[in-house]
């Protein structure tokens, strides 16, 4: 009996040491790795962190005869573990946050040895099986067709069919806490950690072809919530060629370019206050375009609106970083001193950031030129909400 107990303890320690040898983006992924005794992860994390810009994906791992998809992010952390339901080519051709969520969540639902906290969390998540159940995926033979539908920007509905017949249909909330497997506190910690380590990818040109018969050009974007919150970019041509407008006399155009494009010649320092869950805050100093590039790289589309010009020449404005597929918004309230526009990148912007706000919690009455933005973040509430006045 004693010998058997020693053997069991040794096996448990081996599993824990195997999983903990690698770095994980979330505790949830580490728990999954321990449950399935996932080994030899260091080579994958080393491959991803080598240049700090790309992730590494492997389909070489298996669990009980089923192929797994395991990924490591640019920070050298295991960022995904799940059943291999979607080929890499599909993920690259039509990116969607539902792929990793479905692969991870459906794997979790097969595991009987999850810890009690995670098992309870899974049982309370708003994931509904309309056709089939979690075990249906184990009988997939590769002939299934997949489709994804977003419903009212609040939920996803996904369907697998075989020979024209639905074999699995699942509905779930468009909620980034659900999609990522993290709660608000974990998401905030992850955001700050990644921001501090982020290495920006070299930007591509904003415009491939400029008109020949003019010296000014506008890349028309669109708006978010209201017409003043836009993402247009403005270009001018001089003797050296085309460039983003950076003329202090064209304030609104220059500010928009500065706040929306990582290619803008200035990259002022950002003194950032992150407004966190439970009324806590954290201060981070980074170049502004480091924040902008990271969010764009995460799938966000930036929008900017000027609120007002104060008596000392400081401009206040708001950047909304919108991830429509993942269903969240980051909101950055900024103060931009007048000298920032003429300092060639030596100025300093101050900002207050709210991250991972559920998109359905952002009111379409958000922007008003002469009133302060109000926010409500309660310890009793699980979701952040931006409340604004008309």
Helix (H), strand (E), coil (C) string for the chain:
CHHHHHHHHHHHHHHHHHHHCCCECCHHHHHHHHHCCCCCCHHHHHHHHCCCCCCEEECCCEECCEEEEEEECCCCCEEEEEECCCCHHHHHHCCCCHHHHHHHHHHHCCCCCCCHHHHHHHHHCCEEEEECCHHHHHHCCCCCEEEEEEECCCEEEEEEEECCEEEEEEEEECCHHHHHCCCHHHHHHHHHHHHHHCCCCCCCCCCCCCCCCCCEEEECCCEECEEEEECCEEEEEECCEEEECCCCCCHHHHHHHHHHCCCCCCCCEEEEEEECCCCCEEEEEEEHHHHHHHHHHCCCEEEEEEEEECCCCCEEEEEEEEECCCCEEEEEEEEECHHHHCCCCCCEEEEEEEEEEEHHHECCCCCCCCCCCEEECCCCCCCCEEECCC
pLDDT tens column, 305-350? 999 999 888 999 999 999 999 999 999 999 999 888 777 667 899 9
Same domain, 233 and 142: no
DSSP lists the bridge partners of residue 171 as 128, 157
Q: Which of 230, 287, 236 is nearest to 262 (CA)?
A: 287
Res. 31: pLDDT tops 90? yes
- Domain stops at, among 138, 156, 182: 182
Confidence band of 277 (pLDDT split at 50, 70, 90): confident
- Domain boundary (151, 182, 213) is at 182
79 and 137 both lie in a single domain: yes
**pLDDT for 22:** 82
Q: Which residues contact 136 (CB under 8 A, 6 or more apart)?
A: 167, 168
CA distance 112 to 108: 9
- The token pair at 332 is 């950055």
Mean pLDDT of the chain: 85
CA nearest to 166, candidates 145, 141, 139 = 145
Residue 288 has pLDDT above 70, yes or no: yes
Structural domains in the chain (count): 2
Examine the domain organization and report whether 141 and 159 are in the same domain.
yes
Considering the domain architecture, whether residues 23 and 164 belong to the same structural domain is answered as yes
* Residue 369 scores a pLDDT above 60: no
Note whether 123 and 165 are same-domain residues: yes
Locus of tokens 């599909």: 90
**Are 212 and 160 members of one domain?**
no
Task: Express each pLDDT in 44-98 by its tens digit.
Answer: 988 887 766 678 999 999 999 999 999 999 888 999 999 999 999 999 999 999 9
Do 35 and 47 fall into the same domain? yes
312 and 191 co-located in one domain:
yes
Q: Write out the residue range of the structural domain in which residue 147 sits.
A: 2-182
Same domain, 112 and 255: no
Sequence-separated (6 or more) residues with CB below 8 Å from residue 365: 388, 389, 390
Judgement on whether residues 169 and 230 belong to the same structural domain of the protein? no
Residue 236 and residue 11: Cα distance in Å, rounded? 66
Burial class from Cβ neighbours inside 10 Å (0-12, 13-18, 19+) for residue 253 reads buried
Cα separation, 263 vs 250, in Å, equals 18
CA atoms within 13 A on the CB side of 67: 12
Q: What is the pLDDT of residue 52?
A: 65
Strand 269-275's sheet: what is its strand order? 223-224, 226-230, 301-309, 315-323, 328-336, 348-358, 269-275, 281-287
Task: Considering only residues 234 and 247, tell me which one the structure prediction assigns the higher pLDDT.
Answer: 234
């Amino acid at each position: 009996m004693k010998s058997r107990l020693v053997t069991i303890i040794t096996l448990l320690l081996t599993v824990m040491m195997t999983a903990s040898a690698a770095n994980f983006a979330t505790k949830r992924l580490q728990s999954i790795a321990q449950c399935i005794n996932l080994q030899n992860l260091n080579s994958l994390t080393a491959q991803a962190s080598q240049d700090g810009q790309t992730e590494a994906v492997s389909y070489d791992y298996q669990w009980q005869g089923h192929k797994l998809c395991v990924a490591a992010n640019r920070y050298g952390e295991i960022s995904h573990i799940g059943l291999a339901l979607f080929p890499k080519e599909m993920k690259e051709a039509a990116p969607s946050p539902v792929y990793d969520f479905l692969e991870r969540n459906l794997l979790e639902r097969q595991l009987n040895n999850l810890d009690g906290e995670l098992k309870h969390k899974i049982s309370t998540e708003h994931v509904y099986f309309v056709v089939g159940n979690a075990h249906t995926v184990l009988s997939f033979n590769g002939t299934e067709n997949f489709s994804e539908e977003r419903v009212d920007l609040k939920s996803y509905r996904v369907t697998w069919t075989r020979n024209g017949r639905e074999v699995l249909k699942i509905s779930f909330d468009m909620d980034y806490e659900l999609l990522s497997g993290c709660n608000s506190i974990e998401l905030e910690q992850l955001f700050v950690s990644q921001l501090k380590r982020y290495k920006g990818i070299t930007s591509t040109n904003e415009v491939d072809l400029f008109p020949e018969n003019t010296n000014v050009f506008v890349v028309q974007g669109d708006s978010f919530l209201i017409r003043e919150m836009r993402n247009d970019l403005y270009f001018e041509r001089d003797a050296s060629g085309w460039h983003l407008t950076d003329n202090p006399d064209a304030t609104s155009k220059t500010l928009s370019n500065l706040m929306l494009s990582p290619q803008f010649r200035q990259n002022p320092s950002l003194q950032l206050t992150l407004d966190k869950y439970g009324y806590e805050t954290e201060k981070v100093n980074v170049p502004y375009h480091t924040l902008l590039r990271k969010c764009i790289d995460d799938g966000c589309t930036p929008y900017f609106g000027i609120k007002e010009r104060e008596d000392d020449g400081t401009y206040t404005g708001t950047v909304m970083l919108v991830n429509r597929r993942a269903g969240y918004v980051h909101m950055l309230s900024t103060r931009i001193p007048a000298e920032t526009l003429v300092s060639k990148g030596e100025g300093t912007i101050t900002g207050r950031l709210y991250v991972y706000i559920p998109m359905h919690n952002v009111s379409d009455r958000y922007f008003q030129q002469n009133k302060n933005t109000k926010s409500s973040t309660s310890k009793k509430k699980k979701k952040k909400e931006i409340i604004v006045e008309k």
